[in-house]
Amino acid sequence: MKQRLVPVVPMSHTAHIRSHRKPRRTAPTARAMRAGVAGGVLSTLAVAGASGSANAAEPVTQTLELPTLTADLAAQVAQSAEATQQVAADYQLRAERDAAAEKAAKEAEADLAEAKKKAEAKKKAAEEARRAAAERAARDAERAALTATTATTTTTTTATATVSAPTGGSVATVIAFLKAQVGDAYVMGASGPNAWDCSSLVQAAFKQVGVDLPRVSQDQSMVGTDVSLSNLQVGDILYWGGKGSAYHVGVYIGGGQYLDAANPSKGVVIQDLSGYPASGAVRVL
């Protein structure tokens, strides 16, 4: 068997010295390391990218949702404001209606009071008119009676005519008779016993003591002696109107009062002379 000779290569003079360089890795190991590093880098980038994507996505999501949330909130605020305005309007309307109702009630009450006042004034005026009409009618009737009985009257037609009272004539008797008739009715032309007019009552009263007086007030104002109203005595005959044309008569009973057949609404009554002052007076007793 032949031996193969291997040529000897001369050794470098530095071959015995260890190299300071790191030994080179084999290509597969290097490639594996590079792949690992690359993979790690890619993983890190992927994680960072995912995290960055997640962090970036949230603001985007919020940015997209904020207009929707803001619009809803604005709608709710608008609805709340509208409801508040409606409540305020309803309250204002009720307040205006209540004020109008209160004002109308006060006006109605004032109108009612005014109507009552006017009705009372109208009623009073009507009563006064009726009284005046009754008195005018009484005067007219007495004047007519005076004209009809002028031929038969027993009195004189002179202003100085007098009627003499009989001896023993009593004023107290006259006054007692008059007071006994208080409450009787007034009827024009009546002469008792339960209804009188002014002159028939005076005539009947003095007839109790024998004094014959004319029937009508005009003639009764002409008899006796004239006396001043400041010097009246019980039993003096009072008259209203001119002497000789008097339209009403009564008898002074003292204490500033007189008794007469007043009118249809009052009948025979006692009244204060201050409320209806006489025109004059004559004395026959």
Give the CA count within 13 Å in the CB-facing half-sphere of 140. 6
| The domain boundary residue, chosen from 152, 185, 205 | 152
- The Cα 133–Cα 152 span in angstroms is 29
Torsion on CA atoms 83, 84, 88, 89, rounded to nearest 10: -30
Range of the domain at 205: 159-283
| The domain boundary residue, chosen from 99, 127, 152 | 152
This prediction's pTM: 0.45
Q: Residue 269 is part of a domain; what is its CATH number?
A: 3.90.1720.10
Please give the pLDDT value at position 220: 98
Number of structural domains found in the chain: 2
Bridge-based pairing state of the strands 257-263 and 267-272: antiparallel
The answer to whether residue 77 sits within a structural domain is: yes
3-state secondary structure of 112: helix
Identify the H or E element spanning 88. helix 27-149
Asked if 124 and 166 sit in the same domain, the reply is: no
Asked if 180 and 195 sit in the same domain, the reply is: yes
Q: Which sign does the torsion angle of CA 134, 139, 143, 145 carry?
A: positive
- The Cα 56–Cα 17 span in angstroms is 59
Please give the pLDDT value at position 168: 41
Please give the pLDDT value at position 186: 98
The answer to whether residue 112 sits within a structural domain is: yes
Asked if 227 and 143 sit in the same domain, the reply is: no
Taking only the tens of pLDDT, the chain with its 285 residues reads 555 555 555 555 555 555 555 555 555 554 545 555 455 545 554 444 555 444 444 554 555 554 555 667 777 777 888 888 888 888 888 888 888 888 988 888 888 888 888 888 878 777 776 776 666 666 566 555 544 544 343 333 333 334 444 434 599 999 999 999 999 999 999 999 999 999 999 999 999 999 999 999 999 999 999 999 999 999 999 999 999 999 999 999 999 999 999 999 999 999 999 999 999 999 999
The answer to whether residue 104 sits within a structural domain is: yes
End-to-end CA distance of the chain: 217
pLDDT digits (tens, 9 = 90+) for 193-224: 999 999 999 999 999 999 999 999 999 999 99
Please give the pLDDT value at position 156: 36
In the chain, beta strands by DSSP E = 185-186, 195-196, 225-227, 237-240, 248-254, 257-263, 267-272, 280-283
Please give the pLDDT value at position 258: 98
Please give the pLDDT value at position 78: 76
Asked if 114 and 189 sit in the same domain, the reply is: no
How many Cβ atoms from other residues are within 10 Å of residue 190's Cβ?
16
The answer to whether residue 12 sits within a structural domain is: no
The answer to whether residue 252 sits within a structural domain is: yes
Asked if 181 and 198 sit in the same domain, the reply is: yes
Asked if 177 and 251 sit in the same domain, the reply is: yes
| The domain boundary residue, chosen from 101, 118, 152 | 152
The answer to whether residue 236 sits within a structural domain is: yes
- Exposed (0-12), middle (13-18) or buried (19+): which is 260, by Cβ within 10 Å? buried
The answer to whether residue 11 sits within a structural domain is: no
Asked if 276 and 203 sit in the same domain, the reply is: yes
Please give the pLDDT value at position 224: 96
Asked if 70 and 126 sit in the same domain, the reply is: yes
The answer to whether residue 13 sits within a structural domain is: no
